[in-house]
Amino acid sequence: MADAARTAARQAAIGQDDYTGAAQRVAGGVSLGVEQGELTCVTAARPVPGPLGGLGLTARARACTYTEPSSP
């Protein structure tokens, strides 16, 4: 999860549109939440597999990076 969050945060911070695809390639079926401002923060989440998944547990990770300035 942490790798997916870091990858998506970096992609979103540099203005790439496919940050979701990048996170999916790293960690499979994850959902993402993105907050942008001076920092770009991404929260990645997915249900915990196996017996614990039946309890409704969710694994989450959050990563933030500075937002890159956009070109004029």
| CA 22/CA 6 separation, integer angstroms | 10
Structural domain includes residue 15: yes
Contact 10, 28 (CB under 8 A): no
- For 16-34, the pLDDT digits (tens) are 989 999 999 998 889 999 9
How many domains, in total, are found in the chain? 1
CB atoms within 10 A of CB 54: 9
Largest CA distance in the chain: 51
User: Tell me: the pLDDT tens digits for 34-55?
Assistant: 999 999 999 999 999 888 888 9
Q: Give the Cα separation of 58 and 26 in Å (integer).
A: 18
pTM of the predicted model as reported, rounded to 2 decimal places:
0.83
Domain residues for the domain of 14 are 2-66
- Rg of the Cα trace of the chain? 13
pLDDT grade, residue 69 (50/70/90)?
A: confident
